[in-house]
Structure 1
Amino acid sequence: MTEPTPRILDGYRVVDCSIAMAGPFAAQRLGDLGADVVKVEPTAGEWQRFAAAGGAQGNRINVSFLSLNRNKRSLAVDLKSEAGKSIVRELVATADVFLQNYRPGVAARLGLDYETLRALNPSLVYVSMSGYGEDGPYRDRPGQDLLIQAMSGAMLSAGRAGEPPTPAGQYLADAVTASTAFEAVLAALLHRERTGEGQLVTVNMLDALTTLQMQELSVFTVGGVPQHRGEQPNAHVYIRAPYGVFATSDGYLALGFAELGPLGEVIGEPSFAGLDAEEHGWTHRDELYAKTAARLATDTTQHWLDALLAAGMWAGPVYGYEDLVADPQIIHNGTFVEYDHPTEGRVKTPGFPYRFHRTPATVERGAPLVGEHTREVLADLGFSEDAVDALLAEGAVAETTLSAVVTADSATP
């Protein structure tokens, strides 16, 4: 029988002491590539277990926690107890990566700061995530997604002058920070493979979202072009018109970078004839947008998509989630994954943003119950059954046994 191909991070252990979205999402990415991710959470469970986005509850695990914590084992520990701290330090001694997004200063108070853990494990890659940075004037401010988006400057690159800026329709700062931390961990592990050195890696949400705007901010800092929103809802201040989302008679479509003469022919706007897109697209942005909007409102989305695409224009539909999930390209790509969860049933969630043809990412386990793997992880560290029972009795750790949950659920009328 052929041996299965090892996954990219098989054999690596990640201790995930993060909460909410950015940290857990980054750790989940590592688990998707095969790392043994041990989620260290309070004995009552991580905060995200009790705060579902959209109020989307589950049976035993709400959808927010479910979506950010697959491919992990849960170790429920009281970090306020000496026994709990000792367990985590033993775990760190066996780990390759330690990831936390505590408020600045908390890790040190818990004895889980970099200098303390490096003394236990010099080759450790220690990742500290924060809202604004480890120090500086905003060190103690709450690092929340909307607040970071607002500070990043990006909200004032779209929409109408005089109207409130519109935040992104996703938790953008959290997601970008998670991807940044994931990227940083892989780079630090590559450095360690070459040199044997562990190191401290710091990632903050404000820098992550700021550096994402590499092109836009360079247009401002190098090119000296200010942000200027017009009277029409152009989709970006640094892209020539017509560019944005337009209403049709039955919905919306997106249109970008159209040459004005050919566009005028398609939509029936004779004033576009002879206009140069690179000149007039900047100097007459509001006028071009308004005329395009008026023409597109006269017919259906499908009519205009057929006509614009046939003419080589860059146009596309504006989807809701129902449309996205059913899209044939999404289905072809296998963008969503489905698996069976012991308490939540059949689960369908976004899968993996990368493809490794020799070492594919997989879902090995769904999000765990609180302390579902406490006994298993402690056994890995050499604790006897009696020692684990004693820790459970004193409240230093907690566990939830899957068999007991399934039995309880089956007995519920």
Structure 2
Amino acid sequence: MNVLEGIRVLDLSIAMAGPFAAQKLADLGADVIKVEPVTGEWQRHVSAGGARGNAVNASFLSLNRNKRSLSMNLKDPEGRALLHDLVRGADVFLQNYRPGVADRLGVDYTTLRELKPDLVYVSMSGYGSTGPYADRPGQDVLLQAMSGALASARRHGEAPRPAPFFLADAITAYSAFEGAMAALFHRERTGEGQLVEVNMLDSIIAAQMQEISVATVGGVRQEPTDQIHAHSYIRAPYGIFPTSDSHLALSFAEMDALAEVFGDDRFLAYDAERDGFTHRDEISALVTENLAANTTAHWLDELAAAGVWVGPVYDYTQLRDDPQVRHNGSFVEYQHPTEGTVVTPGFTFRLSAQDQEVYRPAPLNGQHTQEVLLELGLTIDRIAELESSGTVHRHRRPALSQLS
């Protein structure tokens, strides 16, 4: 049995954070119904990195596996009524609409709680549902910048560099997933549903609890450096350093070990704990100078043998080929009806009571409309009428002549 088997989730979210959170629930066995417009969710049509795919974008595939697609027009009173009927049989409702949209569509928490008192309602936003920034766009790099994170890894005279992936979105997805799970556990104990509010700003701030506390409790400011340094609160050497042919990652190295590996006694003039903060630039400059003398492969072997914490700097292709990544099964592979073989990261933890993971591909728009509405008690004829009126959209398999 899967952990969330029997739990039904209505996922009305778009873009990354909401769909990612809902996918985590789906991966644990919840029946996640992706309720999307008749034209399909926005992410189906906007490519990430130009990876448009044949009929479905790669970014959509990565965030919507193990879900069913119900395609309907919620601005249509009949569509809204169908959704309300679905809510009566649902356990979790997840949305990340802009402020005011849920109220206009009649899918706000107050309305849905009347239909399903024990509903777990997860509302996601950029900055919070109220306050001076409530109407601002909650976009990832804006939240990274505002959160203070970018001041921890920059050099004098250079602009701060944001993370090269959607960091705020990913952290927010985990927050929403945790909130939904906690609320479901509370409901198991009490029978009560509740509103779970998650926003990107609080999520990315909380993820920096250690760094922010150094400033708020310890009174130590973030200070930029002249040399390579990846974190203002970690002693040198710490960061990504060039070698003669590429780069490597280095952290928490002891000075005597560096002196031995490099054959450079200048490191012995420094104490790692005392001088690693006050002489960061000098130590990092010595590391850069020495690493330039040989290849990444050479230094990875030599430094690791001396007990130095060192590692490779991969691109995504190299990452897939790493033996530990393959051993862990970090990536999963399955077949999609229009995109062929899909390779994507899998679930992040494993439970002994969870059945072996079975991954179903991200649905086509409206692929399960008829299936879900039949479960709701509608007849084939009634579904056909709703489709004709534009209230719902149903994906139809192409005729054989269209496939040839």
Using the size of structure 2 for normalisation, the TM-score is 0.98
Unpaired stretches in structure 2, ≥5 consecutive residues? none
SS at match of 1:55: coil
In the alignment, the residues of structure 2 paired with residue 361 and residue 211 of structure 1 have an alpha-carbon distance, to the nearest angstrom, of: 32
In the alignment, the residues of structure 1 paired with residue 34 and residue 256 of structure 2 have an alpha-carbon distance, to the nearest angstrom, of: 58
In the alignment, the residues of structure 2 paired with residue 233 and residue 156 of structure 1 have an alpha-carbon distance, to the nearest angstrom, of: 14
Structure 1 residue 364: Cα displacement:
4.1
Identify the residue that residue 56 of structure 2 maps to in structure 1: 61
Structure 1 residue 185: Cα displacement:
0.6
In the alignment, the residues of structure 2 paired with residue 142 and residue 407 of structure 1 have an alpha-carbon distance, to the nearest angstrom, of: 44
2:387 paired with 1:365? no
2:142 paired with 1:142? no
| Worse-superposed segment, 97-106 or 161-170 | 161-170
Identify the residue that residue 276 of structure 1 maps to in structure 2: 271
In the alignment, the residues of structure 2 paired with residue 23 and residue 130 of structure 1 have an alpha-carbon distance, to the nearest angstrom, of: 9
Q: How many aligned positions are there?
A: 404
In the alignment, the residues of structure 1 paired with residue 402 and residue 322 of structure 2 have an alpha-carbon distance, to the nearest angstrom, of: 36
Structure 1 residue 362: Cα displacement:
2.2
Instruction: Choose which of 60, 82, 87 in structure 1 pairs with 2:82.
Output: 87
2:235 paired with 1:246? no
Contact 1:39–1:74 (Cα < 8 Å) also in 2: yes
Unpaired stretches in structure 1, ≥5 consecutive residues? 1-5
After superposition, the CA RMSD in angstroms is 1.1
**1:32-70 CA distances to partner (integer Å, 9 max, x unpaired)?**
010000000000101000001011011221111111111
**1:230-266 CA distances to partner (integer Å, 9 max, x unpaired)?**
1112010000001111100011011100111221221
Which amino acid in structure 2 is aligned with residue 171 of structure 1?
F
Q: Structure 1 residues 250 and 306 mapped into 2: Cα distance closer, same or farther (>3 Å)?
A: same
Structure 1 residue 407: Cα displacement:
3.2
In the alignment, the residues of structure 1 paired with residue 190 and residue 399 of structure 2 have an alpha-carbon distance, to the nearest angstrom, of: 47
Instruction: Choose which of 394, 403, 410 in structure 1 pairs with 2:403.
Output: 410
Q: Structure 1 residues 311 and 10 mapped into 2: Cα distance closer, same or farther (>3 Å)?
A: same
Equivalent residues in 2 for 1:228-267 (5 A)?
Answer: 228-267=223-262
Which amino acid in structure 2 is aligned with residue 247 of structure 1?
P
Structure 1 residue 275: Cα displacement:
2.5
Contact 1:268–1:295 (Cα < 8 Å) also in 2: no
Contact 2:334–2:359 (Cα < 8 Å) also in 1: no
SS at match of 2:398: helix
Contact 2:3–2:353 (Cα < 8 Å) also in 1: no
SS at match of 2:197: strand
Instruction: Choose which of 206, 213, 218 in structure 2 pairs with 1:218.
Output: 213
Which amino acid in structure 1 is aligned with residue 287 of structure 2?
T
Identify the residue that residue 22 of structure 1 maps to in structure 2: 17
In the alignment, the residues of structure 2 paired with residue 408 and residue 354 of structure 1 have an alpha-carbon distance, to the nearest angstrom, of: 44
Which amino acid in structure 1 is aligned with residue 398 of structure 2?
V
Contact 1:261–1:275 (Cα < 8 Å) also in 2: no
2:350 paired with 1:355? yes
2:286 paired with 1:286? no
Instruction: Choose which of 28, 31, 53 in structure 2 pairs with 1:33.
Output: 28
In the alignment, the residues of structure 2 paired with residue 351 and residue 361 of structure 1 have an alpha-carbon distance, to the nearest angstrom, of: 12
Which amino acid in structure 1 is aligned with residue 219 of structure 2?
G
Instruction: Choose which of 99, 109, 113 in structure 1 pairs with 2:108.
Output: 113
Percent sequence identity over matched residues?
Answer: 61
Identify the residue that residue 74 of structure 1 maps to in structure 2: 69
Contact 2:26–2:67 (Cα < 8 Å) also in 1: yes
Instruction: Choose which of 366, 369, 375 in structure 2 pairs with 1:374.
Output: 369
Structure 1 residue 406: Cα displacement:
6.8
Structure 1 residue 357: Cα displacement:
2.5
**1:356-378 CA distances to partner (integer Å, 9 max, x unpaired)?**
13314623421111111101100
Structure 1 residue 329: Cα displacement:
0.5
Find runs of 4+ consecutive structure 1 residues off by over 6 angstroms.
none
Instruction: Choose which of 383, 389, 402 in structure 2 pairs with 1:394.
Output: 389
